[in-house]
A and B are shown apart, each in its own frame.
Chain A
């Protein structure tokens, strides 16, 4: 058996160090990188689903709005705001601008909420009771659908944020920013009163 020289010893120790430290480090880095990508992509899809459900909501409620024949001035004002915001929402979606889309959605939904509250307080302003009940059912169902999509989105956000902020992923994912949860304020808001 040949005696190992000091240089050879250093080489062996360095190689062992690379194997012992380098391989797990590389493994964790790959896991963190792939995990971040795998969690980020569904978020984009989920945000698109929210906008799709909002769009469905506006189309359905819009069809109802068209059915209101004898709207008074207060309702007409609400409808004008909704129509303008719907245009802004559609344009923002076309421009692939989620921030503007969300702003327009907030305007529409806050106005929807006021419209529902006004209708509840002034049922005589409507041609039939069933129209009013139909509107409330549509408002409720489309709100539930939007909330469901928002909850799915927020679950993905939470999962992503926890993943990039926990050790050891946080070491390898410096510079990745946390996502903000979607605002539910206009969907769970209590209705204002008009009387």
Chain B
């Protein structure tokens, strides 16, 4: 009898586990965004079109803006948590919906997000800048209209003193202008040291500050690897946690979106 019970247990529990795993694999979380968010979140340069200093500058100052916008008075007014995210993409405007991307990444607390997408084409030697799309979150659009954002893009991104090919400099020029607008017009800062920040960037523009977290990202395990793991667990009755937990938890941590949404308020510059 005992032997029978033991045998029954050895079949029953793995079967339950297998059924649960099948159900879990059937769970889907909706379509994936066109571009996967990076751990650093504020900068997403998967094609590596931007200089290392440009990427670190955007990451650093976007994190700073997010922290600065968490003051209690801004929380009380539901305007806290501004997130400015910059991403690059090799392709055409219209290849994917920037609104869907914005909403998938949930940029900004309280819908206070701004997404800047740079579109490039690529030849064997270099990236060629083609277009910029600016998508503004629902609440943010009450502070920063497309009219104002286009004005900033015309004055700073299209600054005639910067050569056309130097899109890193043009982007940073525009990025700091948007930051200045946000600090002064939303958070009522009396001043913003635009020039000092720009000078610091220009001094270190061609320095290498190290890899960003996303540069070390590894691809997630393919489905067949998970099948092998499940089969292994069922056959041998042990879970190789020592090897798998680091992989499973590798995706955690880093920056993330604040839950913001865009109502489709975007324009192409």
Contacts and interface: CB of A to CB of B under 8 A. Distances in A.
Contacts of A138: 145-147, 150, 267
Interface residues of A, number: 22
Contact of A137 (B141, B263, B269): B269
A115 to B, nearest CB: 14
Given A56-B141, A148-B99, A137 B265 contact: no
Contacts of B268: 140
Contacts of B147: 60, 63-64, 134-135, 137-138
Contacts, number: 62
Contacts of A146: 264
A149 interface: yes
A147 B264 contact: yes
A114 B75 CA distance: 42
Task: From A135, A136, A137, A144, name the one whose CB has the most chain B CB atoms within 10 angstroms.
Answer: A137
Nearest to B146: A141
A130 interface: yes
23 contacts: A56-B141, A60-B145, A60-B146, A60-B147, A130-B150, A130-B154, A133-B150, A133-B154, A134-B146, A134-B148, A134-B150, A134-B154, A137-B146, A137-B149, A137-B150, A138-B145, A138-B147, A138-B150, A141-B145, A144-B266, A145-B141, A148-B264, A149-B263
B151 interface: yes
Nearest to A140: B267
Contact of B146 (A142, A147, A149): A142
B264 A149 contact: yes
Interface of B: 99, 136, 141, 145-151, 154-155, 263-269
Contacts of A137: 146-147, 149-150, 267, 269
A53 interface: yes
Given A134-B147, A137-B146, A138-B147, 7 more contacts: A60-B147, A63-B145, A134-B150, A138-B150, A141-B141, A144-B265, A144-B267
B265 A141 contact: yes
Contact of B151 (A130, A141, A148): A130
Nearest to A150: B264
B154 A141 contact: no
Contact of B263 (A60, A133, A148): A148
Name, among B136, B146, B263, B269, the residue most crowded by chain A CB atoms within 10 Å (CB to CB). Answer: B146
Contact of A53 (B99, B151, B263): B263
Nearest to A52: B263
